[in-house]
Homo-oligomer: A and B are copies of this chain.
Amino acid sequence: MEDLTEMLKGTLEGCVLEIISTEETYGYAITRRLNDLGFTDVIDGTVYTILLRLERNGLVQVTKRPSELGPPRKFYALNDAGRRELATFWAKWQYVSTRIDRLRKGGR
């Protein structure tokens, strides 16, 4: 599937939050996780900008750890504000997706 970028606006950040919430992980791994999920065109640069935004907005806790095979990694974990943000993201997603599905099926 190609050219999903516009449709991912507003949702990709939530996806990253969700991934971080399940396990403490780092940018490069998050990118591959998203690619494995089917978002094959999402590149690392995009993920890093999201992570920097999350950090700037105080939604994550960052821990730098050395790696066996490369430069040190920045591990991300959600804090309380991040968990709240994730909850509101899923609430919004639920709201929007049900309504769009309803529209698709000709409902009102």
Contacts and interface: CB of A to CB of B under 8 A. Distances in A.
A101 B90 CA distance: 10
B96 A15 contact: no
Interface residues of A, number: 33
Given A99-B38, A108-B36, A93 B18 contact: no
A38 B16 CA distance: 26
Instruction: State the majority secondary structure of interface residues on A.
Output: helix
Interface string A70-108: 000000000000000000001111011101111110101
A48 interface: no
A103 B18 contact: yes
A99 B1 CA distance: 12
